[in-house]
Amino acid sequence: MKKIVLVTGRSGSGKTSTLQVLEDLGYYTIDNLPISLVPGIVAKLDQDNAMELLALGVDIRSLQNDQISIDEVLDELQHYGVFEVIYLTSREDVLLARYASSRRPHPLATKYDSLTECIRVEEQLLYPIYRRATLTIDTSNKNVHDLRHTLSVKLGQGDKLVVILQSFGFKHGLPLDTDYVFDLRHLINPHWISELRAYSGLDIPVQEFLAADDMVNDMYEDIEQFLQKWLPVFSQGHRQFITISFGCTGGQHRSVYFVDRLAKALQAKWSVQVLHREMKHWS
């Protein structure tokens, strides 16, 4: 088997949508499978050479009801080709809003008094699989199209390390699906220049404005040197991707500029993917 993906995470974070996207990407998907049955099914499919891409969805109910530990299952699955664990999460306020909108009960609703308690207990129960996740995706600000793009970027790279550079705005929330975050809010802000406000960090007027500032260049050079030094080390650690996020206030100028400039500097040595999380908010 070429690749196995196990999809799990906090209820309401988009497991069903993720499996649908994976199916569109060519994966054979099985949802709500008891975790104890996973190793046997994977072994059978591998023996029969039935498929190359397999995605399995499990939720808190199957993880809680089975006696077998998740660590045992994950250890066994590592023997079959490339193995990924996708953990989906969202901010608590987003999950509360989604359940209020759908009016569907939480999987733990029969055991706890409030939805907030269900969400928090579930997060604790899922910690053993969260710490084994190879890919964490925060769906708080993602629609299905954003999710499709994220999965296509992060699952389509093969065995080579992919450097994902992401810009975001702090006013829209800190990204949960990242390895490193650099805060750029202390740098000079093009937003306060009326002639530059409508542009983004991809536009030449903003780039020229920021490139003329000594503090901007000093921080950029420090970050680039850090990445040039440590990316080879991360790659040797058998990582398939690393996500590095850059945040400014709105996610339109400074963070976008840094991502664009770093992408050009790193692409000669690394496979680089760029995500501008707040593009839909740009004026």
pTM score, whole prediction:
0.58
CB 176 within 8 A of CB 169: no
Assess if CATH 3.40.50.300 describes domain 3-155: yes
Question: Is there a binding annotation on residue 12?
Answer: yes
Question: Is there a binding annotation on residue 16?
Answer: yes
Question: Is there a binding annotation on residue 10?
Answer: yes
Question: Is there a binding annotation on residue 8?
Answer: no
Question: Is there a binding annotation on residue 11?
Answer: yes
So what's the pLDDT on residue 47? 74
Q: Which of 218, 238, 213 minimizes the C-alpha distance to 78?
A: 238
Domain residue ranges in the chain = 3-155, 162-281
So what's the pLDDT on residue 176? 83
So what's the pLDDT on residue 276? 92
User: Cα–Cα distance between 261 and 249 in angstroms, integer?
Assistant: 19
So what's the pLDDT on residue 50? 57
Question: Is there a binding annotation on residue 137?
Answer: no
Q: Which of 66, 55, 114, 113 minimizes the C-alpha distance to 88?
A: 55
Question: Is there a binding annotation on residue 60?
Answer: yes
User: Which residues in the chain come in under a pLDDT of 70?
Assistant: 1-2, 48-51, 64-68, 81-82, 156-160, 237-240
So what's the pLDDT on residue 59? 85
Phi, then psi, of 11 in degrees rounded to 5 = -60, 130
